[in-house]
Amino acid sequence: MLALGKLLELTLAGREPSEKIQVCASGARLQWKAEGVLLIDPPAGRDTGLDLLLSAGIHGDETAPVELLERLLHDIAACRLQPVVRLLVVLGNPAALRRGQRYVEYDLNALFGGGEPSVSGADALRAVELEQQVELFFSPPGRRRVHYDLHADLRASRIERFALRPRSAQRPSRGQLAGLQAAGVQALLLQDESAATFSAFTSERFAAEAFSFELGPAQPLGQGGAAELGRLEAWLRELIEGREPAMAGDPAALPLFRIALEVIKHSDAFRLHLGDEVASFTELVPGCLLAEDADGRRWLVEEQGARIVFPNPRVVSGQCAGLIVVPVAVDEVCA
């Protein structure tokens, strides 16, 4: 297997490869672009016109998605997986991956597109570096652009594997919903507001078909649970090889939620009135007091069927401490 196929090993060791370009026996070309960033070009004459960005490790403790990408790279480098798409693989936060922690100083997934202009240092520089790499990758005109940003959860969830679609000028299609179901996704969140996440950056800046995937609990490296991600991995392999992924079920059966409100922590006085044991997608009682902060800020639950997603009162001030989501019908949102 070619050395560049061992991207995770190189990244964890903090090593830069001596050979920046390697060519597989299949004709696929691997190119080291930056730390944790690898470009794969398909063999000549086999390019289907898809630019596929796969990212993981934006948070350093989310290892199962990182290990999934490593398996794909191993098989490409060993000619067991034959790409017919341009593929950019990104391990987002090498420093945090090496430490096995969510981030080093600041949450990288809140820094894209100038989301926190006051933040400086290594995390801000990494966000800019990744933005530049993505801009280069998506620069060829007239191609389909897709970005899947793979994550794992800090907290238990009543819906273990779900996706989040950032704000987009295009409405989601029923075909996209069927594809998500085939990948093992059990629900989709739709975001109407701008955000500073990696997937929001590619959606808004490059009109990419962008989704963030939440793929179960975060675990140490080597305990990522490959079996639980089998459907997603098989789906990505089909996409990379240009095979039409098998669609699963009725798109209308995929639960859809709209993000009704982001609960932003403004100060150290913030209090979230939920215990640490409360899982994502727990239903909330209308009229209940969800959270309080300084200056009399209060968050009351107003919507029927509202649920809490990503509750985390320990984020730093200025970051989201939870999302309130409400169910929405497929006919209301799909093209």
N- to C-terminal Cα separation, the chain: 44
Q: What CA–CA distance (Å, rounded) separates 108 from 93?
A: 8
Q: What CA–CA distance (Å, rounded) separates 289 from 281?
A: 17
> Which of 116, 66, 117, 69 shows the shortest CA–CA distance to 96?
66
Active site residue 332: no
**Measured between alpha carbons, how far is residue 251 from residues 25, 148, 173, 245 in Å?**
40, 19, 9, 15
- Give the relative orientation of helices 174-182 and 230-240 as an angle to the nearest 10 degrees: 120
Radius of gyration of the chain (CA): 20
Count CA within 13 A, CB hemisphere, residue 307: 21
Residue 273 marked ligand-binding: no
Q: What CA–CA distance (Å, rounded) separates 185 from 180?
A: 5
Among the listed residues 214, 228, 241, 277, the single catalytic one is: 214
> Looking at the DSSP assignment, which residues form a beta bridge with residue 23?
29
Q: What CA–CA distance (Å, rounded) separates 76 from 24?
A: 8
Determine contact, residues 59/108, Cβ cutoff 8 Å: yes
Residue 147 marked ligand-binding: no
> Looking at the DSSP assignment, which residues form a beta bridge with residue 29?
23, 41
Q: What CA–CA distance (Å, rounded) separates 40 from 23?
A: 9
Q: What CA–CA distance (Å, rounded) separates 259 from 327?
A: 9
Residue 62 marked ligand-binding: yes
Could you give the residue numbers annotated as active site?
A: 214
Q: Which residues are annotated as a binding site?
A: 59, 62, 151
**Residue numbering of the annotated binding site for Zn(2+):** 59, 62, 151
